[in-house]
Amino acid sequence: MRHSENEIVLDWDSLRYFLEVARTQRVSAAARKLGVEHTTVSRRIRALETELDTLLFEKSRSAGFVLTDDGQRLFVHAEQMESTVHTARENLSGIGQALSGHLRIGATEGFGSYVLTPLAADFQRRYPHITLDILPVPRFVSLSKREADLAITIERPQRGPYVCSKLCDYTLRLYGTPGYLARHAPIETRADLARHTFIGYVDELLF
């Protein structure tokens, strides 16, 4: 809602639609989450872009609705407003609201399969109103483009405004069957490895 020629007052309800499209990257998914028709979501996004006189999303056939630079800036403020609204609701009602929302975690295939996935069932029992996506990624995903909310990687990102924390140390080992080791020369030094055949894994997906 525009109050004057130089003042823009954002409608929180419109920002709810904006946040859901930004998080799901699909109008249809946002519509299901909000319990409305997809045409309603599209209309509210167009109205918001008209109100702000800027493009908030770029449409990609593979990635869906991707935030523009202006969209990313608005997303930060919209999330802050969402947090304020939730806090106000809890304070006024005197009852803490159950955590809800959508959480997308990007992780290497090994970590996602052997560490995160076994924990997912317990997480869903504790937080039934949070939908959880675990994405196997061979590279560092773009958090600013909402490819994920949290990324677990082997290497520290070289640039970007990210808060990074070390989770753990891990060890990779070589294994051989007793039969293979009995038929081939013993491995006593690193140089001995050159005389053996290995079944390996794609480097980019290695744990």
Q: Set out the domains of the chain in order of their start, with CATH numbers.
A: 12-77 (1.10.10.10), 99-196 (3.40.190)
10-residue averages of pLDDT along the chain (207 residues): 53 88 89 89 93 91 86 88 75 60 85 87 85 77 70 76 77 88 91 89 63
pLDDT of res. 93: 59
DSSP readout, 123-148? HHHH-TTEEEEEEE-SS---TTTTS-
| CA atoms of 46 and 173, how far apart (whole Å) | 54
Residue 107: count other Cβ atoms within 10 Å of its Cβ. 22
Residue 41: count other Cβ atoms within 10 Å of its Cβ. 23
Between strands 57-60 and 64-67, the pairing is antiparallel
Residue 21: count other Cβ atoms within 10 Å of its Cβ. 28
**pTM listed for this prediction:** 0.47
pLDDT of res. 41: 93
pLDDT of res. 39: 93
pLDDT of res. 46: 93
